[in-house]
Structure 1
Amino acid sequence: MPDAKNQHLLDYLGYYLSLTHSPRYAVLISGPWGVGKTYQVKRFLQHHRPEPKKLLYVSLYGLSTLDEIRDALFQAAYPLLTGKPAKLFGSLLTAGLKYVKVDTSSISVGDVIGFSADVYVFDDLERYEGNKSTALGYINQFVEHEGAKVIIIANDKEIKAGEDYERRKEKLIGKVLEVQSSFDEAFSAFVALIDDKFTQGFFKKNAEEISSLYKQTKKDNLRILQQTMWDFERVCKALTDEHRGHSDAILTLLRLFFVLSFEFKSNQINADDLGNGRGLAAMVQAHVEKGKEPSPMRRVADRYQNVDIDDSILSSSVLVNCLVRGIVDPNEIQASLNASNFFVKVADEAPWRTVWHWTERTESEVLAAVGKMSEQFEQRAFTIEGEILHVLGLQLFLSDIGVIKSSKRQVVEDGKKYLDDLYKTKKLEATQRDDYALRFDGYGGLGIQSSDTLEYRELFQHLRESSAKALRDTYPDKASELLEVMKTDVQLFYRRLCITNSDDNIYYNTPLLASLDPDMFVLTMLDLPIADEHVVFMMFKSRYDHSQLDNDLSTEKPWAEAVKRKLLDACETCGPVTGKRIKMRVAYYMKAIPDVAAVSGK
Structure 2
Amino acid sequence: MDIIKETVLDYVSKPSVNNAILIKGQWGSGKTFYWNNVLAPSIEDKLKDGKLEEKDVAVKYISLYGLDSIEGLQKEIFSQFINFKNAKEGFLKKHKRIKKGKLALNAAKFVLQGAGNYLNIGNGELKMDFNNLVNLKDIVICFDDLERTTIDIEKVLGYINTLVEHSGVKVILLAHEEEIELEKYKEIKEKIIGKTLLYELNVENVISQILISDLIENQILINDLERNKTKIIEVFEQSGSNNLRILIQSLGDIESIYNVAGEEIIQGLNDSIKDSLIIFTLALSFAVKTNQISTKLFESTSSSQDFDSQIIGAKMMERHKKNDGTYQLEPILEFSKNFLDRYDIERKFFKCSELLVCQARLDSEKIKGELNFILQIQDSKPSNIDLLFGLEEIPDNKVNEIVDDVLTQIENGQVSLSKYSYCLEIILMLIKEKIIQFDEQQVYEKFLKGIDSIRKNGSLTDSFQIYNNLSQSNEIKIKEINTLIQKTYEEMKSEHTYKKQFDFYRSAFKSETRTIFLQEFHRNTLQLPSNIISPDEFFNEGLVKFTNKELRQFNMSLRVRFKNFTNMTNDEKQWLNGLKTCANLFLQGKEEKKLSYLFIEETIKTIDELEVN
Fold match (TM-score > 0.5): yes
Instruction: Give how far 1:458 is off.
Output: 1.2
Instruction: For 1:269 and 1:150, locate their aligned partners in 2 and report how far apart those are by CA, in whole Å.
Output: 41
Q: When the two structures are superposed, what TM-score results if normalisation uses the length of structure 1?
A: 0.68
Instruction: Give how far 1:205 is off.
Output: 7.7
Instruction: Give how far 1:151 is off.
Output: 2.9
Whether 1:483 and 2:508 are equivalent positions in the alignment is yes
Asked if the contact 2:24/2:176 (under 8 Å) is kept, the reply is: yes
Asked if the contact 1:71/1:110 (under 8 Å) is kept, the reply is: no
Whether 1:539 and 2:544 are equivalent positions in the alignment is no
Asked if the contact 2:555/2:602 (under 8 Å) is kept, the reply is: no
Q: Name whichever of 231-240 and 414-423 sits farther off.
A: 231-240
Instruction: For 1:422 and 1:321, locate their aligned partners in 2 and report how far apart those are by CA, in whole Å.
Output: 32
Instruction: For 1:415 and 1:516, locate their aligned partners in 2 and report how far apart those are by CA, in whole Å.
Output: 37
Instruction: Give how far 1:467 is off.
Output: 0.8
Aligned partner letter, 1:263: A
CA RMSD of aligned residues (A): 5.4
Whether 1:32 and 2:26 are equivalent positions in the alignment is yes
1:597 corresponds to: none
Q: Alignment partner for residue 268 of structure 1, among 279, 292, 299?
A: 292
Whether 1:313 and 2:347 are equivalent positions in the alignment is yes
Whether 1:515 and 2:532 are equivalent positions in the alignment is yes
Whether 1:471 and 2:491 are equivalent positions in the alignment is no
Q: Alignment partner for residue 466 of structure 2, among 429, 438, 442?
A: 438
Asked if the contact 1:60/1:69 (under 8 Å) is kept, the reply is: no
Instruction: For 1:170 and 1:243, locate their aligned partners in 2 and report how far apart those are by CA, in whole Å.
Output: 57
Instruction: Give how far 1:460 is off.
Output: 2.0
Q: Name whichever of 461-470 and 69-78 sits farther off.
A: 69-78
1:493 corresponds to: 517
- Output aligned runs, 1:259-408, within 5 Å: 259-264=283-288, 266-270=290-294, 272-273=296-297, 276=301, 279-288=311-320, 291=326, 294-300=329-335, 303=338, 307=342, 313-317=347-351, 320=354, 327=367, 330-334=371-375, 338=379, 344=381, 349-378=382-411, 380=412, 382=414, 387-391=416-420, 393-402=422-431, 403=436, 405-407=438-440
For the structure 1 residues 107 and 579, does the alpha-carbon distance in structure 2 shift closer, same or farther, using more than 3 Å as the test? same
2:82 corresponds to: 78
Instruction: Give how far 1:520 is off.
Output: 4.1
Q: Deviations over 1:370-392 (max 9, x none)?
A: 333444455x362xxx6244256
Asked if the contact 1:549/1:556 (under 8 Å) is kept, the reply is: no
Q: Deviations over 1:365-418 (max 9, x none)?
A: 33223333444455x362xxx62442564244323432474546x656654544
2:60 corresponds to: 57
2:304 corresponds to: none
Asked if the contact 1:239/1:333 (under 8 Å) is kept, the reply is: no
2:238 corresponds to: 216
For the structure 1 residues 399 and 301, does the alpha-carbon distance in structure 2 shift closer, same or farther, using more than 3 Å as the test? closer
Whether 1:562 and 2:578 are equivalent positions in the alignment is yes
Structure 1 gap ranges (5+): 97-101, 443-447, 500-506, 593-602
Aligned residues: 540
Instruction: For 2:452 and 2:354, locate their aligned partners in 1 and report how far apart those are by CA, in whole Å.
Output: 36
For the structure 1 residues 159 and 496, does the alpha-carbon distance in structure 2 shift closer, same or farther, using more than 3 Å as the test? farther
Instruction: For 2:232 and 2:317, locate their aligned partners in 1 and report how far apart those are by CA, in whole Å.
Output: 30
Structure 2 gap ranges (5+): 92-107, 116-120, 302-306
2:118 corresponds to: none
Q: Deviations over 1:271-323 (max 9, x none)?
A: 543565762123334445564664544444565697169x6534453653686
Instruction: For 2:226 and 2:545, locate their aligned partners in 1 and report how far apart those are by CA, in whole Å.
Output: 75
Instruction: Give how far 1:219 is off.
Output: 1.9
1:598 corresponds to: none
Asked if the contact 2:147/2:180 (under 8 Å) is kept, the reply is: yes
Instruction: Give how far 1:36 is off.
Output: 2.1
Whether 1:455 and 2:480 are equivalent positions in the alignment is yes
Aligned partner letter, 1:46: P
Instruction: For 1:13 and 1:381, locate their aligned partners in 2 and report how far apart those are by CA, in whole Å.
Output: 71
Asked if the contact 2:505/2:517 (under 8 Å) is kept, the reply is: no
Instruction: Give how far 1:353 is off.
Output: 3.2
Aligned partner letter, 1:47: S
Q: Which SS does the other structure have where 1:216 is aligned? A: helix
Instruction: For 1:564 and 1:407, locate their aligned partners in 2 and report how far apart those are by CA, in whole Å.
Output: 60
2:100 corresponds to: none
Aligned partner letter, 1:362: P
Q: Deviations over 1:569-599 (max 9, x none)?
A: 889878998798556533555567xxxxxxx
Q: Which SS does the other structure have where 1:220 is aligned? A: coil
For the structure 1 residues 136 and 334, does the alpha-carbon distance in structure 2 shift closer, same or farther, using more than 3 Å as the test? farther
Instruction: Give how far 1:496 is off.
Output: 2.4
Asked if the contact 1:232/1:257 (under 8 Å) is kept, the reply is: yes
- Output aligned runs, 1:66-145, within 5 Å: 73-79=77-83, 81=85, 93-94=112-113, 103=122, 106-107=125-126, 114-117=133-136, 118-124=139-145, 132-133=150-151, 137=155, 141=159, 143-144=161-162
Asked if the contact 1:94/1:104 (under 8 Å) is kept, the reply is: no
For the structure 1 residues 558 and 284, does the alpha-carbon distance in structure 2 shift closer, same or farther, using more than 3 Å as the test? farther
Asked if the contact 2:28/2:242 (under 8 Å) is kept, the reply is: yes
Instruction: For 2:340 and 2:230, locate their aligned partners in 1 and report how far apart those are by CA, in whole Å.
Output: 16
Percentage identity across aligned positions?
17
Aligned partner letter, 2:489: R
Aligned partner letter, 2:162: E
Q: Deviations over 1:35-56 (max 9, x none)?
A: 2212333423433444675535
Instruction: For 2:64 and 2:529, locate their aligned partners in 1 and report how far apart those are by CA, in whole Å.
Output: 55
Instruction: For 1:11 and 1:511, locate their aligned partners in 2 and report how far apart those are by CA, in whole Å.
Output: 78
Q: Alignment partner for residue 150 of structure 1, among 158, 167, 171?
A: 171
- Output aligned runs, 1:154-233, within 5 Å: 154-156=175-177, 176-192=196-212, 210-225=232-247
Q: Which SS does the other structure have where 1:539 is aligned? A: helix
